[in-house]
Structures are given as C-alpha cells and as structure tokens.
Amino acid sequence: MSPDRAAASPPSALAAAAATLAAKPLCLNTFRENVVLLARNNPLVRPERLAGLRKVEVVAGGVRLLASPMICDDASLVDAHEIGLPQPAFRRLGVQAGDPVHIAPARPARTLDAVRAKIAGEILSGDDYAAIARDLAGHLWSDMEVAAFLVACAAFMTPEEALALTRGMIAAGATLDWKRPMVVDKHCIGGVPGNRTSLIVTPIVAAHGLVMPKTSSRAITSPAGTADTMEVFARVDLDEAEMRGVVERCGACIAWGGRVNLSPADDVLISVERPLSIDTPEQMVASILSKKAAAGSTHLILDIPVGPTAKVRDRRAALRLKKLFEFVAGGIGLSVEVVLTEALEPIGRGVGPVLEAHDVSAVLENRADAPADLREKAIRLAGRVLEFDPALHGGAGERRARDLLESGAAHAKMMQICEAQGPPPTTAGCGSLVHEVCAGAGGHVASIDCLRIASVARLAGAPTDPGAGLELLRKTGEAVRAGEPLYRIYASEPADFGFAVEAAAEDNGVQVSS
Amino acid sequence: MSPDRAAASPPSALAAAAATLAAKPLCLNTFRENVVLLARNNPLVRPERLAGLRKVEVVAGGVRLLASPMICDDASLVDAHEIGLPQPAFRRLGVQAGDPVHIAPARPARTLDAVRAKIAGEILSGDDYAAIARDLAGHLWSDMEVAAFLVACAAFMTPEEALALTRGMIAAGATLDWKRPMVVDKHCIGGVPGNRTSLIVTPIVAAHGLVMPKTSSRAITSPAGTADTMEVFARVDLDEAEMRGVVERCGACIAWGGRVNLSPADDVLISVERPLSIDTPEQMVASILSKKAAAGSTHLILDIPVGPTAKVRDRRAALRLKKLFEFVAGGIGLSVEVVLTEALEPIGRGVGPVLEAHDVSAVLENRADAPADLREKAIRLAGRVLEFDPALHGGAGERRARDLLESGAAHAKMMQICEAQGPPPTTAGCGSLVHEVCAGAGGHVASIDCLRIASVARLAGAPTDPGAGLELLRKTGEAVRAGEPLYRIYASEPADFGFAVEAAAEDNGVQVSS
C-alpha cells in the first residue's frame, strides 16, 4: 500500500526539469498555508495536470517550500511567466518582485512512507522521527498529512517513540543556552480554565533569585494559554535577543515561544491539533518537553490537574502520564518533578485572556477580592520550584514563596518584567456583549464542569478575542438562589455571543444541589 | 477533550449574526477546496480574527458551503463589501456577480465530535455515520478532518460500522433505478497493474443480453482506473440521462460515476485517500458497495487478487475481506459473489491508461499478440457474471463468454458502447519520453513486483498523464539476456520522467533468476 516507499529523492532530475518564473507578490494572505498562483497557460508546469493532488516545489535563493497551486485565468493578476506569491509563501521565500523562482512538480515527502507505516501499526525508528520533525519544521507536509500522522500516533505510540519524536523535535529547531547550571521552569498540562498560575509563579521565583526564562504557548484547545493572558499585560512575541535582554535584567521573562523557533515542528503539529481538538498523552509529552528542552530549561515542575472534567480523569491515568513525562525527560536529560493537583472546577473567577489577567493582578496585588484558590495553588507550585535551589532549606519553599508574594516582591518583579517586555500590541478590555447565566433553582454549587465552561468561553470567542470569556460569580460550595447569576458571558462578535449564550442555555455546566 | 460536544447548532443566532456581501467571481481555481477572498477591512466578519483556524459559512440561494477564507489587501480584487469567489466555490453556490451572499464565522460541524470519539476508540452509531456521510457529501469537512476520520477508522472499525458507513454513503447521494429485476456488475478491488478486465467483461456480458451499466472510478492509488482507461476510447463523464440513453441502446455503459452523484461522500473520502495512499478493508468495502448499490446493481462479481505484492497478501486476509464484503452486501440487499484470483505479477503488458487500452483492444480484436493472461482472466470473470442468468445452464458461463469474445460479438458491442458514449475529450498517445529498463544479468523472470511497477508508472505521470506508464517486455517465466530490455517507461513531463527512471534504476521490480 506504499508505492513510493523505495523511491529516493533525485535532485538531478528535479534540477533538470525545474522551470524559472518571475516572482510576483500578491496582496493576499493564506494564513499558515503556502499557496502560489500559476497561470493556466503556464508553459512549464501545466498546472491543470496537478489537479489538486500534487503540490509544487518552489525554490528561490536557497529556500525550498512546498506549496498548493491555484490556477489563475486573469493575466493581469499572474501571467504565464510569473508565479503569484501570497503571504506567507512570499515572506518565507524572502524574494523581491521579479526575482527568479524555480518551480517543479513536487514529489511526495519521503517521510510520508513512515506515516503510512504508522497508520499500518508499525513502530517507527529514531531516524524516522528525526526526519519527520525536520519535514514538519520545513512545512513540507500538508494539513491532511499532519492530521493523518497525529491520528495514527493517537492509535498507539510506544514511550520510546515519544522520546524519539521529542528528540527529533528539539533537533529540528533552535535551542537556547543560558550558560547557567540551573534554569528552572514550571508548566501545567492544561485543561482547567482560569489556571493562570505561571503568571504568579514566575515573578515569585525570579524575586527569589532563580533564573526562569518562561516561554509559553498560546491556547491549543482551551480558552486561554499563558502567552494569551500575558499579552494582556505586555508584549510577548520577543525574539531571542530581546528575551535574553529581559532575562538579563529581570532574571525571568514570560514570552511566547513562537518567535525564537523553539521546536517549530511542535508549532506545526499544534496548528492541526487545535482545530481537530486532538490532545494525546504522547503528543502532549513530546510537545511540552521539546519546547522546555529547546528553551534551555534544566529543572521543571510539571502540574497535572486530575478531576472528573479535567484532561486527566483519574489517578491511574495521571500516574501513567507522570511515568511517560519522567521517562522522556530522563531520556533528554531534563530534571522533572511531576505534581498531581486536584481539579474539581475552574481556578479563579475569570476564563479568557482579559478576565484571567484580572485574577492574576488581584493575587499579585494582594487584594482582598483575589481568588484564594488561584493564590494558594500558585504558592504551592512556586514553593516546589524554589526547592530546586540547593541553598534553600528542604521544605522551606512554600513559606518563602508566600513571603515573596505577600511582601509585594513578586508584584514588583512582575511590573519589572512587563516593563522590560514592553507594552502589549493592543489594549484589550472585556467584550461589550454581556449575558448573565442564572441558576434555575436555588441551593449550593456542587460542581462546575471544566469542559463545559471551556466550551462556552471558546464559543464566546476566547482566546482569539482576548476580551471574550466568562466571569464565574459562584464557585463550588457557594450558595445561590433561583434566578441569581452563576456567571457572565462576555463577547465582541454577535455570532460568537449567540453561540455561547445558546450553548449555556442548553447546559450551563454548573450543578446546583438543593 | 471534546469541548464542543454538547453544543447544538443554533440557526437563530447564526441568522442574526449573518452578514451580506456582494458576490464577485474571480478567475481563480482552487481545485476541490472551497476558498473565498475577504478584504482585510471587511466590517462584518473581521477575517483576521479567523486566523486560519476557522472556516466561514457561506450561504446564497439556499446553498450552504463552508469555505477557507483568504485575506485580501487589494481593493481592486475584493473590496470591503464583496466576497471574492474562485472556483469551485462560485460554481457550487450557483450565484451571479453581485448577488447577495450571506456569511458568518462557521461553527465546527457537529459530526467532528463523532470523529474525535472515533479517534478515542469508540464505536459510532448508524446515526453518526449517516450524519458523517451527509456532511462529507456537503463538503463541510476540511481535508485535515477527512484525514483524521480515515486514519481513526483505519485503527479499528467493526463490520457493523462498515455497514452503517455504507448505508450512510448510499443515502447521502443519488441512486439509479433501472426498473429491472437483474442489473449485473463486476468489480476488482485493484492493486494489480494492467488488470483492465472490466473493459472486456462488460461488452461480453452485454453481448449476451444481461444489463450491465458499469460506473467506475478513476484510479485511487494505482496507475489507472477503469474510467481512466475507458476515457482513452470514449467519453466517460456522462450524466444520468446520457447514461440511461447508452444503456437503453447497448444494454451497457462504461462511465465514470462522478457526474451522477452516486455516493458523493465516497468521492470526498477518495480525494483524501489518494494523496495519503490509504486503502483499508472497511473503507474499501464501503466505497465499492456504496457505489454499486447507488448505481442500481443487484448482482455483483467481486474480484480479489491475492499475491505477495497485491493489495491482499495471503488467503487468510483474503477470506477476512471476503466475509466483510459478504456481510455488508447482505446488509444492503446486494447479491455478491467473491472470486479470489492469483496475482503474482501485473496482468497484460501495458500499465497506464493508454498502454492498458492497447492490451484491451488486442484482446477484443482477437489479435495474435493479445496478452493471454488478460484474456483468460476476463473470460473467467465474464463467465461468472453470465452464470447469474437463470436461463444459462449451470457451469456454461465461461464457454459462453469465450464464444462471445472469439466470435467478435464482444468487440462489436464495445464499438457500439464507445460510439454511444461519444469520442474522448482528447486523443492521447504514449508519452514521447521513452526509456528502456534492462536486465543486469541473464536468466528467467522469476517475479514482477506489482507495487514497484505501479510506483514507477505513477512516478512517470500515470494516470493524470494518460500516455504515461510502462510497457512490460518480459513476463514471469520468460527468458532474458543481460542488457536486454525488461520494460519501457513512457512519460511526457521531464520531471516525471526523471523520477520514474531514477526509481527504476534503484529497484526495477523485476526479479531475474539465473
């Protein structure tokens, strides 16, 4: 079933058949996909023959891309001797208008044979995963090919394969070297809305004096990622020099990892995992640990929330995931300590970037209305990170973390980090469309469904709309009367607002027991 | 992991938020994918917010599509109040320039929750598969979503699920009713290059007097499908009225099924299976039997070639597949007889549409150089189809088939069918680039690898280039001296030619034993 298996890549034949066209930038943006426009009467590649099945290989100035062709019948847009280049193909090629661009029908990436083998249930080798990570990072696979790989891996993947994929992903991108014996980090696998402890842990740890250059991702399947929420306070798309400058000054940063090309293969996998809502243990471990190792971390506290509506439902699954993290971390030389935390409801009051940022500010400023659950969890995790410090007395981490928070040292450190990173690109407030979701009957809140709350917040527009999301007005154990509000929905777009309000009307996710 | 699971489709909210733009056809072709162009400053959907993650729902004149948006910064191409419609989105919507088009951010298809459940290892219901087939037929899924579904099904799928998928696929398209008690057909699961028996069996059966309206597909992973090869002789993209006219006159047709909307969900699945080279038993059974049932067949002979390099490698796998065909066929009320045939090498001499058409002509014309293996296999299968005729003496089918071939009746019937279908769109000859692949050492041909031969022929450009492919000059058991040619490669495009020649140099697929 794998007809192309043994065929080698023949650069000689390709070069002989390559055709040269003139680059023509177009004012179009195809998001992350490489698309090129070719005239139907292009004499060199006869685009109709490609029939939507084959990509074209596009080479200019040493950069090689695979792109999906569109046929153009409008000579004023693209003539027979031009290649129309929308973004991001134009940017990725780095050419000027009129520059020569070589083009040829693409042969399928050889790594796709490994994908077919994985679909057939085979175990892939370290070399396979190294090549796969390189091809992913080079944007050589189509979305459907990435999806096929992810789903095939979801069916089964050995711990050794997860390690091989992690190693391949680290090697396929840049790595940061901080020239220090200890670089700490803290990461949560996600799944619990409002769980923005990193924005509190990082300034506490930096205030203590450990180095914590935190690179974080945007949300995959949740209403907000650490980078999304940090962007409410400060610029997060720092390049490597900027990140080094901030860490030099502050001992920490909280940046989006996308600009520094750490594990770029992971970014490609995430771009398909996100719309498909795929999030398997092996992909999770490879994604998180490849990013951490590439970012130069040496010591990591990893938070796995466990609860009936969290990503990990019970202790047995949590222990299996813990072992997988420990196995892969050991294989790449990263010290990891896994902390299992209880997750019976969202953390804090806000869900969505802006609303979560409000909670973070309240904790850092020691305000009376600060959500206690967010504060206590952040202190516990910061304490665990501080215990990595050989100078600290064993068991003293949590006390030290609380002191640094309550004294205002952590808040001052956060202000310093934000100032060093610069102001955010836009000033975002809460969405202007507001709806209160009310209790049908009175009683006490028995539980709040993390999945349902995340779903409503995402339908409202989070995280792409930073001001969208929910504000929880009642948490577990609190009393509520019939008709009193349980939470508020915030949105900016009428369509998003409608989706979220209807979803909450169908099932609001809050169980009230009388 | 399925945050959107419980969210219902809210037409009211969608209608409230829908925005109206003016249709603007664009001279662009995006192949099978629905793409629309929106100005960056479009006030209604703010396309940047979609960030490549979300599709837009496009509605005009009762037709609803999901499309991928591209952002346009060139007001002369698309202004803020227009929606640019390339093909096929323009054609599928059926609008005129300037017509109002409603647009809104799309909510994910609800069937994608079922895909996520399948990825997680669940068994889906009949209702799930019915909805999946409808959404596939309506082009509501992206390629990555189709790929995820296919690979998840490849991991495991029960026979009951295969039956449910088949039923769903039949119901999601048109069905033909020939108003006759018996409509016969013959189908091969493929995998053996050159195996074009349908073009010989159909005229034999029709010459006998049974009704055989053959609808066939283009190649999925092979160098030629029946429709590809028939298109060398005659037009194959008949609509339903044309097909009925041909069958009325000739008792048979050999048409491409794509124009008559039979199991359109299958066409969508195939469009992703083809580039991924996925071909699992369950998808194969659902694909073949949904097409046959929708085409109105009542009695089917199904050929499963078995051999070390065929799709089915051994008798055990063949029997499992046979049972699956019988189970699903029984569930949809189709009489099927499965024939297991031996496949140790390609059938005939030619591989690729034009080269296979040469073999078919030689057999139908009873020429001395006709490949005996193709002739004998066609007679055997035609005999099995004829045995469906209650009037024929049991066991007399093969003799009757041979008589109809040798008398010239089958050839005359084929001429009549071709004339009724009309001339092919282009007159295709063999590719002008020719290379002979020669034996390294002398001896006898011990075996010919079907996969390798298919791979070289596809690299040469088959089937999108009908004249590309191979001509086998030595078959199993024949003698060859060192330096003598084993086969010829034909191609039209230099790049394709180079790929095929290099692949053959690396491994030509022919084993010669001294």
The per-residue pLDDT for range B143-188, each reduced to its tens digit, is 889 999 999 999 889 999 999 999 999 999 999 999 999 999 999 9
Q: Is the pLDDT of residue B426 over 90?
A: no
The mean pLDDT value for B45-64 works out to 73
CB-CB neighbors (< 8 A) of A40 in chain B: 29
User: Within 13 Å, how many C-alpha atoms sit on residue A19's CB side?
Assistant: 21
Give pLDDT, residue B50: 62
- Residues B514 and B484: beta-carbon distance below 8 Å: no
Comparing C-alpha atoms, which of B444, B447, B441 is closest to residue B513?
A: B444
Shortest distance, CA B269 to any CA of chain A (angstroms): 12
- B224-242: pLDDT as tens digits: 989 999 999 999 999 999 9
Residues of chain B with pLDDT > 90, as a percent, come to 66
Inter-residue long-range contacts of B314-318, CB under 8 Å, 24+ positions, other chains counted: B315/B340
Give pLDDT, residue A391: 93
A&B contacts, CB < 8 Å: 275
Which pLDDT band holds residue A457 (cuts at 50, 70, 90)? Answer: very high
- A252-305: pLDDT as tens digits: 999 998 778 888 899 889 888 877 878 889 999 999 999 999 999 999 999 999
Residue B139's alpha-carbon distances to A16, B63, B92, B132, B265, in angstroms, are: 39, 12, 10, 11, 9
Give pLDDT, residue A14: 43
The mean pLDDT value for B433-440 works out to 96
* Of A329 and A108, more confident: A329
Angle, vertex CA B505, rays to CA B504 and CA B508, nearest 5: 45
- The interface pTM score, or ipTM, of the predicted complex is 0.76
Q: Is the pLDDT of residue B45 over 80?
A: no
Q: Is the pLDDT of residue B283 over 60?
A: yes
d(CA B165, CA A190): 35
Q: Is the pLDDT of residue A250 over 90?
A: yes
d(CA B34, CA B19): 19
DSSP for residue B49: G
d(CA B495, CA A16): 7
Which pLDDT band holds residue A48 (cuts at 50, 70, 90)? Answer: low
Nearest CB to B10: which of A7, A71, A498? A498
- B344-372: pLDDT as tens digits: 899 999 999 999 999 999 999 999 999 99
The answer to whether the CB atoms of A17 and B494 lie below 8 A apart is: yes
Nearest CB to A143: which of B32, B144, B498? B144
Q: Is the pLDDT of residue B503 over 70?
A: yes
Q: Is the pLDDT of residue A108 over 80?
A: no
Give pLDDT, residue B447: 93
The answer to whether the CB atoms of B498 and A28 lie below 8 A apart is: no
Query: What crossing angle do the helices spanning A409-421 and A198-208 adopt, rounded to 10°?
Result: 100
Q: Which of B200-204, B220-224, B417-421 is predicted least confidently?
A: B220-224
Could you say which residues from 394 to 413 on chain A have a Cβ atom under 8 Å away from some Cβ of chain B? none
Q: Is the pLDDT of residue A1 over 60?
A: no
The mean pLDDT value for B30-47 works out to 79
Is B303 annotated as catalytic?
no
Residue B28 at interface with chain A, using a CB cutoff of 8 Å: yes
Q: Is the pLDDT of residue B13 over 60?
A: no
Residue A61's alpha-carbon distances to A101, A158, B484, in angstroms, are: 8, 40, 44
Residues of chain B with pLDDT > 70, as a percent, come to 94
Query: What crossing angle do the helices spanning A240-250 and A409-421 adopt, rounded to 10°?
Result: 150
The mean pLDDT value for B388-409 works out to 96
Give pLDDT, residue A4: 35
Give pLDDT, residue A3: 34
Comparing C-alpha atoms, which of B8, B33, B459, B470 is closest to residue B271?
A: B33
The answer to whether the CB atoms of A495 and B17 lie below 8 A apart is: yes
Q: Is the pLDDT of residue A461 over 60?
A: yes
d(CA B230, CA B255): 8
Which pLDDT band holds residue A9 (cuts at 50, 70, 90)? Answer: very low
- Residues A51 and A62: beta-carbon distance below 8 Å: no
The mean pLDDT value for A420-425 works out to 95
CB-CB neighbors (< 8 A) of A152 in chain B: 151, 154-155
Task: Name the phi and psi angles at B18, rounded to 5.
Answer: -65, 145
Task: Name the phi and psi angles at B78, rounded to 5.
Answer: -145, 125
Give pLDDT, residue A54: 67
Residue A242 at interface with chain B, using a CB cutoff of 8 Å: no
End-to-end Cα spacing for chain A: 60
Give pLDDT, residue B208: 98
Residue A75 at interface with chain B, using a CB cutoff of 8 Å: no
Which pLDDT band holds residue B198 (cuts at 50, 70, 90)? Answer: very high
Q: Is the pLDDT of residue A15 over 60?
A: no
- A135-174: pLDDT as tens digits: 998 888 888 899 999 999 998 899 999 999 999 999 999 9
Q: In terms of residues, how long is chain B?
A: 514
Give pLDDT, residue A7: 36
- A74-101: pLDDT as tens digits: 888 899 889 999 888 888 888 999 999 9
Give pLDDT, residue B15: 42
Q: What does the DSSP assignment read for B275-297? A: HHT---HHHHHHHHHHHHHHTT-
pTM score of the predicted model: 0.80
The mean pLDDT value for B95-116 works out to 86
Residue B308 at interface with chain A, using a CB cutoff of 8 Å: no
Could you say which residues from 87 to 146 on chain A have a Cβ atom under 8 Å away from some Cβ of chain B? 104-105, 107-108, 112, 115-116, 119, 142-146
* Of A66 and A367, more confident: A367
The answer to whether the CB atoms of A143 and B146 lie below 8 A apart is: no
- A302-327: pLDDT as tens digits: 999 999 989 999 999 999 999 999 99
Q: Which of B24, B29, B268, B433 is the mutation pick for testing A, counting most A CBs within 10 A?
A: B29
Q: Which two tokens stand for residue A121?
A: 């249930």
